[in-house]
Amino acid sequence: MEIVSGAPGGDEQGADAGRGSPPRRLIVMGTGGNCVDILDVVLDLNALRPAPLYECVGWLDDEPARHGTTVAGLPVLGPLSAAADYADCVFVNGIGSVRTFMRKARIIAGAGVPDERFATLAHPLASVSRWARVGAGAVLFPHVAVHSGARVGRHVIVLATSVINHDVHVGDYTCITSGVCLSGGVQVGASCYLGTNACVVGGVTLGDGCIVGMGSVVRKDVPAGAVVAGNPARVIRMVDGTAP
């Protein structure tokens, strides 16, 4: 895994910038707000370097009405399945709202792009421990902190100012929105959605596919597929509509 960040020392790719390496052509999957924010991450990374790391090529989106339009000045090139037409590009996915997060793994798989062609991005103002690992396709927004021993899974998105403390594990495809604080040793399953300013007490485990409501304080383990909210957080329903 290589993280592209603004950290001193940087990664191999960053070290090459300005020494004649052409920028990598990059496409963002999705056109929503988080996707445009990802474009900011990429442009801020470029701005730090003597030569750009990435050439932003455009967007892929499954909404036909968007095809042929532009978003933030870049063209919407076609549906996600068109990724195959861009063999020279790397990708990053921004799809995964509270309505769609549970489909994120299928959405990404449907594009048919292997993990090695996903960029892993950390905004220059994010801080990632030398002893942390961040998976393919993950994106860390400004002022995110990932501390020692933490593992952030594949295609995880972490929005601005969230803190992933030491030894936290975050499962693949999970979305961590802004201001979330995961205390030391918290285990977050795959395909979860953590609402704004949620806090999780150290050592707690969140099962796969759960939602943590905005502002919640989670003190106990959360079953897979549960929606929890409040302080202390309680199960209010199941994601799939079954009885808790």
- Binding residues for ligand COA, per CB under 6 A? 98, 177, 195-196, 211, 213-216, 227, 229-230, 236-237
Which of 25, 24, 30 has the alpha carbon at shortest distance from 78?
A: 30
* Own/partner long-range contacts of 38-43 (Cβ < 8 Å, ≥24 apart): 38/92, 38/94, 38/121, 38/139, 39/72, 39/74, 41/121, 41/123, 41/139, 41/141, 41/142, 42/92, 42/121
For strands 217-218 and 145-146, give the pairing: unpaired
Beta pairing class for 74-78 and 70-71: antiparallel
Sort 226 into a burial class: Cβ within 10 Å, 0-12 / 13-18 / 19+: buried
Question: Among positive and negative, which fits the CA dihedral 140, 230, 185, 117?
Answer: negative
Please identify, using beta-carbon distances, which residue of 74 and 214 lies nearer to ligand COA: 214
Amino acid type, 138: A
Token pair 């952030």 in the structure block, residue: 152
The two structure tokens encoding residue 188: 């977050």
Q: Which 3 state secondary structure label does DSSP give 88? A: coil
Nearer to ligand COA, 37 or 172 (CB): 37
The nearest distance, CB 227 to ligand COA, in angstroms, is 5
DSSP bridge pairs for 147 = none
Active-site annotation holder among 67, 123, 166, 169: 166
Q: How far is the CB of 143 from ligand COA (least distance, A)?
A: 15
Nearest distance, CB of residue 198 and ligand COA, angstroms: 7
Q: Which is nearer to ligand COA, 75 or 142 (CB)?
A: 142
Closest distance to ligand COA from the beta carbon of 242 (Å): 14
Phi then psi for 7, rounded to 5 degrees? -65, 145
- Asked if 169 is an active-site residue, the reply is no
- In the complex, least distance from residue 233 CB atom to ligand COA, rounded to whole angstroms: 8
* 36 or 82: CB nearest ligand COA: 36
Q: Which is nearer to ligand COA, 120 or 216 (CB)?
A: 216
Q: Hey, which residues are catalytic here?
A: 166
